[in-house]
Amino acid sequence: MSTAPPVPASAAWREGDPAGGRRFADVGALDLETGGHLPAVRVAYETWGELSPRRDNAVLVLHALTGDSHVTGPAGPGHPTAGWWSELVGPGRALDTDRWFVVAPNVLGGCQGTTGPASPAPDGRPWGSRFPYLTVRDQVAAEARLADALGVDAWAAVVGGSMGGMRAVEWAVTHPSRVQRLLAVATTARATADQIAWCAPQLAAIRADPGWRGGDYHDAPPGRGPHTGLGIARRIAHTTYRSAAELDARFGRAPQPGEEPLGGGGRFAVESYLDHHAEKLVRRFDAGSYVVLTESMDSHDVGRGRGGVAAALSRVRAATRVVAVDTDRLYPVHLSEEIATGVPGAPPLDLVSSAYGHDGFLIEVAALQKVTEELLALEPGSR
């Protein structure tokens, strides 16, 4: 019998929980791209290093779908997991915090301190189903407000992978004068039909869970949230994060030790692996945020209203490096190539060889260190 504590209806960070390294900026009301409105937005963020007197050394690091502001540092009160890019950020590392002032916000719509579905609405109850639809541009608008609050007129660099890379590219297109260097990793300038298709069953699984309650489950007792649906969504997503070759080499057709999958009700080892990642996520994330952020990724298209992707990318003025993972089946290499060839003066795509598929952007840190160091060595605006 499991001795694990009951899973809360939502694993979102709530007011009164340990803040850890979080800071908070109240950035005011925000009108949204599709006509919605948030009357008050709070952005949770973390920083490392010191902002220079000239305010010219700030680097913005943007997280992926289920990431958060805790880019580097150990797990502990307020931070259920260790930093997701710890080998890249810190003293003496590629993003050297003895030189650079590194800022990492939790995305708008997230669940780790920034305004999202689990946050209190003006009536004091969680937003839940009333939380408005967000686009990537809305998320960048909130981050621009954070930059204003920090006194950062221009980022020395904006760095992001996966969903964070979407926001990084949107930053460079929307605010070309505020982004001096751009590093876009394992990402795309536009969500494709294939990516939207992979997201669709994830959203359907969450919404079909009786614990979803139309999105208004945040005050339910432990064990009564949409955990099954969120877990299924994670299983689907995690399959796209890894390569077929890696899964086959790692697990093959082996049964989970002590279980018999052939008629015995047991599992294959790869099924147990997916179950493990599902269980981890439901204990640290919020299903409402998963829905909001997944829909925002579906919305992503830097060319919308700008004459297409090529016209939008031509607006970028930042010194740019684009990195792709050769085995990435979620954001295939040709999508990164579109960014690299579309940004004026950008060098050829940097292709990282990895067995791990999309997750290579989190794992192949040595290759990212080299590209990051080379980018930061460039003068602002140089190619």
Task: Residue 233: give its domain's CATH number.
Answer: 1.10.1740.110
pLDDT above 70 covers a percentage of the chain that reads 98
Residue 113 lies in a domain: yes
**Strand pairing of 350-352 and 181-185?**
unpaired
Task: List, for residues 159-183, the tens digit of each pLDDT value.
Answer: 999 999 999 999 999 999 999 999 9
Cα gap 247→290, rounded to integer Å: 25
Determine the pLDDT at residue 344: 97
Residues 178 and 205 both lie in one domain: no
Half-sphere exposure of 153 (CA within 13 A, CB side): 6
Check whether 383 has a pLDDT greater than 80: no
Q: Which pLDDT score is estimated for 1?
A: 37
Identify the DSSP state of 187.
-
Q: Quote the percentage of the chain above a pLDDT of 90.
A: 96
Considering the domain architecture, whether residues 251 and 314 belong to the same structural domain is answered as no
What mean pLDDT is reported for the chain? 96
Same domain for 135 and 39: yes
Query: For this structure, is 299 an active site residue?
Result: no
CB atoms within 10 A of CB 207: 15
Please list, in sequence order, all residues whose beta carbon lies within 8 angstroms of the beta carbon of residue 4, skipping any fewer than 6 positions away: none
Last residue of a domain, one of 296, 315, 348: 296
On the question of pLDDT at 31 being above 90, the answer is: yes
Task: Report the candidate in 361, 366, 318, 28 with the shortest Cα–Cα distance to residue 164.
Answer: 361
pLDDT band for 5, please (50, 70, 90 cuts). confident
Residue 11 maps to a domain = no
The residue annotated as part of the active site, out of 301, 328, 350, 359, is 328
Number of domain units in the chain: 2
Query: How confident is residue 379, by pLDDT bands cut at 50, 70 and 90?
Result: confident
pLDDT in tens, 70-120: 999 999 999 999 999 999 999 999 999 999 999 999 999 999 999 999 999
12 within domain boundaries = no
Do 246 and 283 have their domain in common?
yes
Encoded tokens for 161: 């992978």
User: Do 88 and 218 share a structural domain?
Assistant: no
The enclosing domain of 68 has a CATH number of 3.40.50.1820
Q: Is residue 160 part of a domain?
A: yes
Q: Is the pTM above the cut of 0.95? A: yes
Q: Within 10 A of 13 (CB to CB), how many other CB atoms are there?
A: 27
358 is catalytic: yes
Which of 300, 336, 358, 359 is catalytic? The answer is 358
The range of the structural domain enclosing residue 274 comes to: 195-296
Q: What is the pLDDT of residues 283-326, one digit of tens each?
A: 999 999 999 999 999 999 999 999 999 999 999 999 999 999 99
Distance between CA 323 and CA 337 in Å, rounded? 9
Catalytic residue at 162? yes
- What pLDDT is attached to residue 363? 97
Question: Where do runs of H (alpha helix) occur along the chain?
Answer: 136-150, 163-174, 193-208, 227-241, 244-251, 269-282, 287-299, 309-313, 333-342, 360-363, 365-377
CB neighbours of residue 248 within 10 Å: 11
Pair of tokens at residue 373: 């160091």
Alpha carbons 273 and 267: distance in angstroms, whole number: 10
> What is the model's pLDDT at position 380?
76
Position 173 scores a pLDDT of: 98
Domain finish residue from 250, 279, 296 = 296
Q: Catalytic pick from 10, 69, 119, 162?
A: 162
Q: Is the pLDDT of residue 4 over 90?
A: no
In a domain, 7, yes or no: no
Q: Within this chain, do residues 37 and 148 fall inside the same structural domain, yes or no?
A: yes
Q: Domain check: are 145 and 241 in the same one?
A: no
Query: For position 46, what pLDDT does the model report?
Result: 98
Residue 15 lies in a domain: no
Model confidence at 229, in pLDDT bands (50, 70, 90)?
A: very high
Would the pLDDT of 275 be above 60?
A: yes
**80/203 same-domain check:** no
Residues 104 and 116 reside in one and the same domain:
yes
Using the predicted structure, report yes or no on whether residue 2 has a pLDDT greater than 60: no
Task: For strands 23-31 and 37-48, give the pairing.
Answer: antiparallel
| pLDDT at residue 264, rounded to an integer | 82
Give the mean model confidence (pLDDT) for residues 213-223: 96
